[in-house]
Chain A
Amino acid sequence: MKPTPLHPPLRVGHGGTWRCICRIGARWGSRIVCVLAALAAMQAAQAVPSFARQTGQSCVACHAGGQFPELTPYGRLFKLTGYTQGERGNPLAGMVVASMTRTRNNSDGAGGGISPFNNQAVLDFGSLFLAGKIGDKLGGFAQFTSVVHDHQDGDGHWQSHFGSDNFDLRYADRKINAEDDLIWGVTLNNNPSVQDVWNSSPAWGYPYLSSSLGAFGAVPVATLIEGGLAQQVAGVGAYVYWNRALYAEWSSYQTAKGLGSLLSLGNQPGDANHPLSSLDGSGQYWRLAYTREWAAHNAMLGAFGLDAKVFPLDANFSTINKLGSTRYQDLGLDAQYQYLLAPHTVTTFVRLVRERISDATGLAYTGAASLHSLKAKGSYVYQARYGVSLAYTRVNGSADAMAYASAANSPNTVMWTPEIFWMPLQSLRIGLQYNRFTRYLGAANNYDGSGRHASDNDTAFLYAWWAF
């Protein structure tokens, strides 16, 4: 008997995370299950002390205002030339994140809570990095993460989970003289845009950390390129960066299994908490950027795209490849501006992604669908120590009764995220971030039909992030 297919949990999220968003039903029960399943969502934080040891330079040399993972022009060159500057040494590095989340209204209306560990200090996750120079033209960045409270087993006990996170291995060369400067390279990676060097890109975009145990640490819906394929795929690509002005890249992705399974370590077919999605054929990703530097300023204007088809999963979280696939066509525009002159650092970006969805399976969407995702962020840091930032996220798209579990069956969400942070050491960041929702899945008030308001999901997130 053919198993009854479930609507596939769609992976959305960003920066090495995935967030399982169940787009079926509006019941609180399934919603809570989904939210709990999403506890593996952690924002992959990216700060690599092994690079600092390799180059002998301070974090601020590569990271704007010390805000790892934001990159300065020098940091971008370091990555584009294959992480090879400096001397090969110990590639090991690590980081841990601890936090406390407070969801404004944590009641599920049935006597329970929505976000576990609400108002409690917890250890979120730890990462191990293998990163740095392998040879004069070869280097890489491999991150593996252990999430402390990943999911609960049948007895309610919390289980941890270890798996691959950001991965980028690249070979690069540079031909430079007084007239010309050409960097070219090839990359093997596990998330479209993880190989990118601008912080407007989905894999490296703000926020770099968000509440993983809180149910509302991010917007509930995102386009596929915003983390939906992270650690699910293995891709090979080639890029050029000419005269520090024009960047062009093309990468092709396939499901990360077989030889590529290191890149999706921790995700496997049939795993209810960490299933491995399969691509139907190969997914194509491209990226163009124009950059300019003048005095203490630098700016980028860019575009990118992803065209990928994803097979649905059945009730056992295994791939169904006989019913067709859902095609996501993402087109993005982004821009970034930085002002870097000690003691002041200003960094800003904006990113807009337009997504067209065509679901041949009939399991995820009732018809042709669209989704738009806009993100903008501005930060100011003083002395690479005291910082403040404000981000704006807006998602809107076609309403769909199958895809979105809310009264309006709509993805429309608006979230403001102010944050203050302090870096008493260049390797330690302590911050307070607040997600303020003015609209959630289609409405400001009573968005779920049971009286919950968007503002009930407001989330305060206090964290400490230490890299070593």
Chain B
Amino acid sequence: MNGLSRFVRSFVPGLLTLLAAACTHTGMQYGDAQASGVAIATQTCSACHGVTGQSVSPLFPQLAGQQKEYLVAQLGDFKAHSRADERGTEYMWGFTRLTPRQIDELADYFSTQTPMHGPSPAPAPDLRGQAIFAQGLPELGVPACSACHGAQGLGQGSFPRLAGQHADYVMQQIRVFQLTDTRPRGAAMKQVTHALSEADTAAVARYIAALSATP
């Protein structure tokens, strides 16, 4: 038999060895209760959210520098299927086996990354968005975002950081709060957003996305 044939035949024992080795858990993957949060973050979450929590596509929220308490709550809600917005169910409902330790470590990993930021150089701030963010729309009963999310949109505790988040993601979530009841933990946001028009939603989302970008 020729050399290549010999190689292929010798590949089979190698393959069987590989098979035996590969069937064991490596502690690197989601689903393994021993896996660390860092391993899950880099091997799994990074695919959509980026290895440092800075996601490329606006389909997936930035996680970099997000409030730890908020991340723990959202992961718990995805795990329990109590957060049921459409995109969330499509991508995040599989994570039902995260242990409390893993959730804590994941939240720790992302919350301590260099915080999320919009594209640099920052565009000129959307003035309408800025006004809504800082003062709300009192005539419509829309409170200022800054009242809970902070003057710079950095968030606090269970109120998420907004500064630097993808504009499209912010718009999506405002619509989710406005039109659905799929995020019960954020029920307060329904009242906040109910009077926001499409144009105002876009304006405040643009402003938020540009917050904390380097000028």
A→B interface (CB under 8 Å): 55-58, 60-61, 73-74, 77-78, 81, 84-88, 134-138, 171, 174, 176-178, 181, 188, 234, 236, 252, 254, 259-260, 281-282, 293-296, 340-342
Contacts and interface: CB of A to CB of B under 8 A. Distances in A.
Contacts of A73: 47, 57
Given A86-B31, A135-B24, A137-B26, A236 B11 contact: yes
B43 A174 contact: yes
Interface of B: 4-5, 8-9, 11-12, 15, 18-19, 21-26, 28-32, 42-44, 46-48, 51-52, 56-59, 86-87, 89-91, 93-97, 168
A371 to B, nearest CB: 27
Nearest to A179: B51
A188 B168 CA distance: 41
A96 B95 CA distance: 30
Given A86-B31, A135-B24, A136-B28, A188 B5 contact: no
Contacts of B11: 236
B3 to A, nearest CB: 10
Contact of A177 (B5, B32, B42): B42
Most chain-B CB neighbours within 10 Å: which of A57, A136, A174?
Answer: A136
A77 B87 CA distance: 19
Most chain-A CB neighbours within 10 Å: which of B22, B42, B51?
Answer: B22
B4 A295 contact: no
Most chain-A CB neighbours within 10 Å: which of B26, B47, B95?
Answer: B47
Given A136-B32, A282-B4, 15 more contacts: A58-B90, A58-B91, A74-B48, A78-B47, A135-B19, A135-B23, A136-B22, A138-B18, A177-B42, A252-B4, A259-B8, A295-B58, A341-B59, A341-B168, A342-B59
Contacts of A87: 30-31, 97
B90 A134 contact: no
Contact of B22 (A77, A137, A174, A341): A137
Contacts of A259: 8-9, 12
A236 B8 contact: yes
A295 B57 contact: yes
Nearest 8 A/B pairs, CB to CB: A56-B94, A138-B22, A135-B22, A87-B31, A58-B90, A135-B23, A136-B26, A77-B47
B135 to A, nearest CB: 30
A177 B44 CA distance: 12
Nearest to B87: A342
B104 to A, nearest CB: 20
B30 A86 contact: yes
A253 to B, nearest CB: 10
A57 B93 contact: yes
B172 to A, nearest CB: 8
Contacts of A60: 90
Contacts of B25: 135-136
Most chain-A CB neighbours within 10 Å: which of B31, B44, B87?
Answer: B31
Contacts of A135: 19, 21-26
A138 B19 contact: yes
B47 A74 contact: yes
24 contacts: A55-B94, A56-B95, A58-B91, A61-B91, A73-B57, A85-B29, A85-B47, A86-B31, A87-B30, A87-B31, A134-B22, A135-B24, A136-B32, A176-B46, A176-B51, A188-B15, A234-B8, A236-B11, A254-B5, A259-B9, A296-B59, A296-B168, A340-B59, A342-B86
A136 B28 CA distance: 8
Contacts of B44: 85
A421 B42 CA distance: 37
Contacts of A138: 18-19, 22-23
A342 to B, nearest CB: 7
A134 B19 contact: yes
A100 to B, nearest CB: 32
Nearest to A297: B57
Contacts of A134: 19, 22-23
A142 to B, nearest CB: 14
A294 B55 CA distance: 10
A61 B28 CA distance: 21
A178 B51 contact: yes
Contacts of B97: 87
A56 B168 contact: no
B48 to A, nearest CB: 6
A60 B9 CA distance: 40
Nearest to B166: A295
Nearest to A235: B8
A77 B4 CA distance: 31
A84 B29 contact: yes
Nearest to B31: A87
A57 B86 CA distance: 12
B18 A171 contact: yes
A88 B24 CA distance: 11
A61 B91 CA distance: 6
A167 B78 CA distance: 34
Given A134-B19, A259-B12, A254 B4 contact: yes
Contacts of A294: 56
A80 to B, nearest CB: 10
Given A57-B93, A136-B28, A177-B42, A293 B12 contact: no
Given A176-B43, A236-B8, A86 B94 contact: yes
Nearest to B96: A56
B200 to A, nearest CB: 21
Nearest to A89: B31
Contacts of B30: 85-87
A254 B8 contact: yes
A165 B102 CA distance: 39
A296 B42 CA distance: 21
A89 to B, nearest CB: 10
A293 B47 CA distance: 12
A86 B35 CA distance: 13
